Amino acid sequence: MVDYCQCVFFTQFMKQELYKKAITVLDANFQEGGFTIPSAGLYPFQWKWDSGFIALGFAHYDVEKAKTEMRTLLDAQWGNGFIPHIVFHTDNDSYFPGADFHQSELHPLSSKKYRSTGMTQPPVSGFVLQEMYRIAADKEDMLKYIKEHIDKVFYNHVYFYENRDPQDEGLVYIYHNWESGTDNSPVWDDIWKTMNPPEYTFVRKDTTHVDASQRPTKREYDHYLYIIDIAKQHNYDDVKIAELSPFLVQDPLFNAMLIKSNQALIELYELIGGNEDKIKTLLQWQSKSIASFNEKLFDAELGAYVHYDLRNEKAIRHITSSSFSPLFANIPSPERAKVLVKTMMDKFGGADKYLCASFDPTSDRFNPKKYWRGPVWINMNWMLFLGLKNYGFADVAARMKHDSIELIEKYGFYEYFDCRKDTGEENTPGYGGNNFSWSAALFIDLVNTD
């Protein structure tokens, strides 16, 4: 018989072993060029939002790697402030579509040093710098580093507000589903219905690394490629993209992360001192963005924030894990936050499920195994955990953290996980890439955060 003390000891031992494993995953994915791949094989380059979450993990045990990760990402910034979603550091041909398809060199201000995509990803860098400061043992040294890099992040936000907000609402658009990070969310199905792209001929690489049933379909890829082709025909010119792209969406997750990063920049500039003009600009963006966000993106009937299709001027009325992300950026009032959490728990929070599915489990578009169409993602859980904690929903926050850790303990550092506690199958409910960097990085941060 095992007594209580032995059990506690065993659990702590397992956590320590897992912590070591998380470090091994991150260190193995760190590359000579000073960046970390999300997962070997499937994602062989540097991805913008992955890099931010990865830097947070490094910050806990190897601060120089954390600094290098962000420095390399910011080094790939274009002359107009834009930071691309993928930086192609090598000629690795195990990923499609690669540098030759994207042709970032078409844009006159693209980086001359790195080839990249001509699209971006959620603006994580601001809040990541702030988290690095929070974690750092040597605050003075970290503030010095931040001082050297913060303006690049500020100019990235200038790029967004100057080029991605055609109606001057304080809400920026994305022009491709890959910019959202939630690549094949069922939310985009409504937009695919408005398009009829050509049938492309290409060789998929992702399905040679991962079971095709967990990845987007060939027809979905036709849509993805077609949007890029339109942007390329106009050398990734923002004005032309705003005019012509069939995909133009105000995404609650993307905008929430921008607002969270704005706030982080304000607080960091205050710590640094001076920079009054930048703080003033950031405060102006904040008040406008938060007001528009609450007015335009909240759907009172659904009790959640939703995406807005700017091209077709209509709300896309589905509940996703992105619907709750405004909690992370302090956007809803306390009353509205209660409504959000009720919606989350009613629809996503059953005892038979892990928090938090990426798409409404009560919808017929929900698929618990497929990429962003239902599975749990650790980066979303990390943001929701912090948001819930910040609003005082201690119990739900604790469950969000507990579920995230349990999924990793049971199944490993996968890219995404089945939200069903009982899948009725014997095989593992961890999907996509294994030894996935941000799952390891955010596990490290979660176990270090009360």
Residues making contact with ligand DGY (CB under 6 A): 85, 178, 183, 206
* DSSP string for 350-388: -TTB-S-BSB-TTSTT--TTSGGGS-B-HHHHHHHHHHH
Catalytic residue among 238, 415, 418, 445: 415
Shortest Cβ 238–ligand DGY spacing (Å): 20
200, 222 in Cβ contact below 8 A?
yes
Q: Of 206 and 445, which has the nearer Cβ to ligand DGY?
A: 206
Closer to ligand DGY at the Cβ: 286 or 325? 325
Cβ nearer to ligand DGY, comparing 38 with 326? 38
Say if residues 46 and 86 touch (Cβ distance below 8 Å): yes
CB closer to ligand DGY, 119 vs 329: 119
Asked if 58 and 133 count as a contact pair (C-beta separation under 8 A), the reply is no
Least gap, CB of 46 to ligand DGY (angstroms): 11
Query: Which residue among 27, 62, 151, 183 is the active-site one?
Result: 183
DSSP 288-300: HHHHHHHHHSEET
**For residues 442 and 378, is the Cβ–Cβ distance under 8 A?**
yes
Q: Which residue, 72 or 117, is less far from ligand DGY as judged by CB?
A: 117
Of residues 50 and 418, the one with the C-beta less far from ligand DGY: 50
Query: How far is Cα 333 from Cα 301, in angstroms, rounded to an integer?
Result: 17
In the complex, least distance from residue 178 CB atom to ligand DGY, rounded to whole angstroms = 4
CA distances from 70 to 67, 73, 342 (A): 5, 5, 36
Question: Contact at 8 Å (CB) between 299 and 231?
Answer: no
**Euclidean distance between CA atoms 76 and 46, whole angstroms:** 10
* Residue where the block lists tokens 């042709």: 103
Shortest approach of ligand DGY to residue 360 CB, angstroms?
Answer: 21
Question: Is the CB of 275 or the CB of 379 nearer to ligand DGY?
Answer: 379
Shortest Cβ 206–ligand DGY spacing (Å): 6
For residue 273, what are the CA distances in angstroms to 129, 154, 278, 372?
Answer: 16, 15, 11, 41
Any catalytic annotation for residue 335?
A: no
The token duo for 261 is 């990063």
CB 263 within 8 A of CB 329: yes
Active site residue 183: yes
Q: Which amino acid is at 125?
A: S
Backbone angles phi, psi at 304, to 5 degrees: -160, 160
Phi/psi-derived region of residue 367, left when phi > 0, alpha when psi is between -120 and 50, beta in every other case: beta
Three-state SS annotation for 387-399: HHHHCCCHHHHHH
User: What is the rounded distance in angstroms from the CA atom of residue 403 to the CA atom of residue 379?
Assistant: 13
| Smallest distance, ligand DGY to C-beta of residue 122, A | 11
Return the active site residues.
183, 415
